[in-house]
Amino acid sequence: MQSFPIFLTLTDRRALVVGGGEPAARKVELLLSAGAQVSLVAETVVGDLASLIAEGRISWAGGGFDEADLDDLSLVIVASDDTALALRVSQAAERRGLPVNVVDKPRLSSFIMPAIVDRAPVTIAISTGGSAPALARRIRGEIERALPAALGRLARFAEIFRGQVRRTLDNARDRRRFWDRVFGGRIAELALAGDEIAARRELIRLLDQARHDSPPTGMVHLVGAGPGDPDLLTLKAHRLLQRADVVVYDRLVSPEVLALARRDAERVFVGKRRGEHALAQEAINDRLVALARAGHSVVRLKGGDPLVFGRGGEEIEALARAGIAVEVVPGITAALGCAASAAIPLTHRDHAQGCLFVAGQLRDGALALDWPTLARPRQTVVFYMALENLGTIADRLVEHGLAADTPAVLVENGTRADERRVVGTLATIAALGQAASLEGPTLFIVGDVVGLALANPPQFHFVSGISL
């Protein structure tokens, strides 16, 4: 987060605007709408500002700036093309610790003026840190179209009952669930439509029901977080993250995906690395059961898809034995995400009539795989968790019939901004992978389709390459 977002209360507080053109007029209008008492410093003014001065809605402090103009202020905005004046006002405000914004000059500003969506009392502010105001305006337009014009009416309706709901439901989680039902159902529809009488009646009925309801048993949602790119998260996964009381996540979940969870949700890390587990699987199962029995809505967030090498099946069994309701929300597994990112077709009419997903890690000290099946021609094999045993896997595939020059690729941190790919053959991939010092989650893809993608590569970089 480049800037810390805050909302200032300016009702009956003094603000100063320096400048008399259209940019200054727009800032004055915003300040007046927030209830501020506005003073203006400008030698000449446009018509709108002249009218506001004549009507007594703003005061004119003259054409020249004096540091005494900053007395008893809460905010300063400079909307002038005079660079020297802007610098002088900015420095004077900074000395007094006054918030100051110089239009289109972020380096002279202690705060940024955001693009605003106004559905009073709902206010949404969008900022790009001063780097791309046009983008902020575009985002504002998208949000404007998405939100009902009467959204403020719904907020004012909820405010009427806020105290009553707090007195009736003393548990914060119960209040949050109550308001989720209000805003996500018929009550909100009635309030937005202007039928406040019916909305009040429905809300009172729902509140009375909530008062007498027994504490609900929680539920666990096994949610696929995808390979890392937050844009690949399903809509349902995003919705559940916004509603969860607790998010239990592993190390393959990217920070960008985890950031989509509700800010006040409890986060529990249960990640595993080779040889070091935050929690054993049995302990994770017990934790999920305990959280659900305490009435929490739990999202068990797993990298990729929860049922593809994620031990989701074991968690489902444990929850079922404990009588806990469970829902599985699929995610894009690493094989699909990494292949798409590298434009590798996992199947192809002329090159691969099938695709196998295989765990490439040791079990009980042995890499016990069906090598004859894996080494068959005209198929793609995707190895998960194979980095530690990469050389052994490549050697066994060659021993069982695959050509040593079969194309292969390692994809580290697939779909993320720091994705890397190491390209080689079965004969070279182990050495190339070691030289690349790969450390992140890495997928190993073997088959002619890798060479097919490289013949017409998309715009991406390789750590090492082969010519085909």
Domain membership flag for residue 5: no
Q: Which pLDDT tens digit goes with each residue over 88-112?
A: 999 999 999 999 999 989 899 999 8
Q: Which pLDDT tens digit goes with each residue over 23-60?
A: 999 999 999 999 999 999 999 999 899 999 999 999 99
| Final residue before a domain boundary, out of 288, 306, 332 | 332
CB environment 260-276: b (16+ within 10 A), e (fewer): ebeeebeebebebeeee
Task: Tell me the C-alpha distance between 55 and 57, whole Å.
Answer: 6
3-state secondary structure of 345: coil
76 & 22 share domain: yes
265 & 314 share domain: yes
At residue 215, the pLDDT reads 66
At residue 305, the pLDDT reads 95
Name the average pLDDT for the chain.
90
326 & 360 share domain: no
Q: Which pLDDT tens digit goes with each residue over 301-331?
A: 999 999 999 899 999 999 999 999 999 999 9
Task: Tell me the C-alpha distance between 104 and 467, whole Å.
Answer: 50
The pairing of beta strand 380-384 with beta strand 407-412: unpaired
Answer with the residue of higher pLDDT: 410 or 63.
410
Domain membership flag for residue 93: yes
Task: Tell me the C-alpha distance between 339 and 453, whole Å.
Answer: 10
CATH number at residue 292: 3.40.1010.10
| Final residue before a domain boundary, out of 65, 91, 113 | 113
Number of domains in the chain: 4
Domain membership flag for residue 67: yes
Residues 6 or more apart from 25 whose CB is under 8 A from it? 46, 48, 49
Q: How many CB atoms sit inside 10 A of residue 379's CB?
A: 20
CB 299 within 8 A of CB 247: yes
226 & 297 share domain: yes
158 & 231 share domain: no
With residue 263 as reference, give the H or E element that holds it.
none
Among 57-61, 80-84, 112-116, 275-279, name the one with the lowest average pLDDT. Answer: 275-279
> Which residue shows structure tokens 């004119």?
60
pLDDT class of 132 with cuts at 50, 70, 90: confident
3-state secondary structure of 338: helix
E strands along 66-142, which residues?
75-78, 100-102, 115-119, 122-126
Q: Which pLDDT tens digit goes with each residue over 325-367?
A: 999 999 999 999 999 998 899 999 888 999 999 998 766 657 8
317 & 349 share domain: no
At residue 465, the pLDDT reads 39
CB 111 within 8 A of CB 5: no
Report residue 448 as tokens.
């002619």
Mean pLDDT of 116-130: 90
341 & 315 share domain: no
Count of all residues that appear for the chain in the document: 468
343 & 277 share domain: no
At residue 154, the pLDDT reads 93
Active-site option among 69, 82, 105, 272:
272
At residue 56, the pLDDT reads 93
Task: Tell me the C-alpha distance between 57 and 408, whole Å.
Answer: 72
Domain membership flag for residue 299: yes
At residue 463, the pLDDT reads 43
Residue 464 clears pLDDT 60, i.e. is over it: no
Q: Is 250 a catalytic residue?
A: yes
Residues 6 or more apart from 158 whose CB is under 8 A from it? 179, 182, 183
Mean pLDDT of 207-228: 87
Q: Which pLDDT tens digit goes with each residue over 22-32?
A: 999 999 999 99
Percent of the chain with pLDDT over 90: 74
| Final residue before a domain boundary, out of 61, 86, 113 | 113
Active-site option among 250, 302, 305, 448:
250
Domain membership flag for residue 122: no
* Phi, psi torsion values for 153, nearest 5 degrees: -60, -40
18 & 39 share domain: yes
Domain membership flag for residue 468: no
> Which residue shows structure tokens 């919705």?
239
* Closest C-alpha among 304, 302, 307, 288 to residue 245: 288
* Phi, psi torsion values for 431, nearest 5 degrees: -65, -40
Helix 47-54 × helix 22-33 angle, to 10°:
40
Domain that holds residue 58: 14-113
CB 331 within 8 A of CB 305: yes
pTM of the model: 0.73
Going by the DSSP 8-state scheme, the letter that residue 57 receives in this structure is: S
Q: Which pLDDT tens digit goes with each residue over 247-278?
A: 999 999 999 999 999 988 999 999 866 555 56
Domain membership flag for residue 25: yes
56 & 86 share domain: yes
85 & 102 share domain: yes
CATH number at residue 173: 1.10.8
265 & 346 share domain: no
Task: Tell me the C-alpha distance between 211 and 292, whole Å.
Answer: 21
Mean pLDDT of 380-409: 94
Report residue 170 as tokens.
């003393």
Q: Is 245 a catalytic residue?
A: no
Domain membership flag for residue 126: no
CATH number at residue 419: 3.30.950.10
Mean pLDDT of 392-397: 94
At residue 3, the pLDDT reads 83
